[in-house]
Copies of this chain bind each other. A is one copy, B any other.
Amino acid sequence: MPVRWRYALIPSDAAAVRELVSTTGFFSPEEEDIAVELVNETLLNGHTVSGYEFVFADDPGQPGRLLGYACFGPIPGTVSSFDLYWIAVAPGLQGRGLGRDLIRESERLAVAMGATRMFVDTSGRSQYQPTRAFYERMGYREEGRLVDFYAPGDDKVIYARDLANQPRSLVVEE
């Protein structure tokens, strides 16, 4: 799928991320606010201070129009563990490999920054079964299930992938 990759934030990303995240229907208004907050904090203070890195998949014909994006960064208090905080693909484009490309591009950049493990959390609710299946296809393994974490009846499922022993060109090889 043709996209233009972009790693530097532009001011319009705050609004673009809010629209993208809200149209997926997977996130609460509070979660949308957090996604936007990470963009704004990084626009204001830079990647090094904020601890957030971004991968944007722009529409090749319309730079700044987001087809998908991912946000990740080093986990404070760890030596080389990274967290994939956000990954979202525009609803009309799902199922065409963009999620895979976003996660592999995030992993490639994380490895370049010294990552050896990538972690990602999601909900145990049935609505998120496709999300969990996606992470599993991407090589992520369930390492924890925190019962009733988000709310009674809503578990937190923690996935992890070893990045230290993977082929160097993660995107190309898949």
Q: In the complex the two chains form, is A78's CB within 8 Å of B160's CB?
A: no
A interface residues, tally (CB under 8 Å): 26
Instruction: Name the residue of chain B whose CB is nearest to the CB of A159.
Output: B146
> Do the beta carbons of A81 and B149 come within 8 Å of each other?
yes
Q: Give Cα distance in the complex from A162 to B162, angstroms.
A: 31
CA distance A158 to B143 in the complex (A): 10
B117 and A78 form a contact (CB under 8 A): no
Interface string of A132-171 (1 = CB under 8 A from B): 0000000000011111111110000010101010000000
Would you list which residues of chain A between 26 and 75 have a CB under 8 Å from chain B? 30-31, 34, 75
Interchain CB contact under 8 A, A160 and B143: no
**Is B152 a contact partner of A80 (Cβ separation < 8 A)?**
yes
Chain B residues whose C-beta falls within 8 Å of the C-beta of A77 in the assembled complex: 30-31, 34, 150
The distance from the CB of A62 to the nearest CB of chain B, in whole angstroms, is 33
The yes or no answer to A15 lying at the interface (CB within 8 A) is no
Pick from B79, B80, B149: contact of A119, CB under 8 Å: B149
Write the A97-119 contact mask toward B (1 if CB under 8 angstroms, else 0). 00000000000000000001101
Specify which chain B residues have a CB less than 8 angstroms from the CB of A162 in the assembled complex.
Answer: 148
Could you tell me if A143 and B146 are in contact, using CB atoms closer than 8 angstroms?
yes
Q: Which residues of A contact B (CB under 8 A)?
A: 30-31, 34, 75, 77-81, 116-117, 119, 143-152, 158, 160, 162, 164
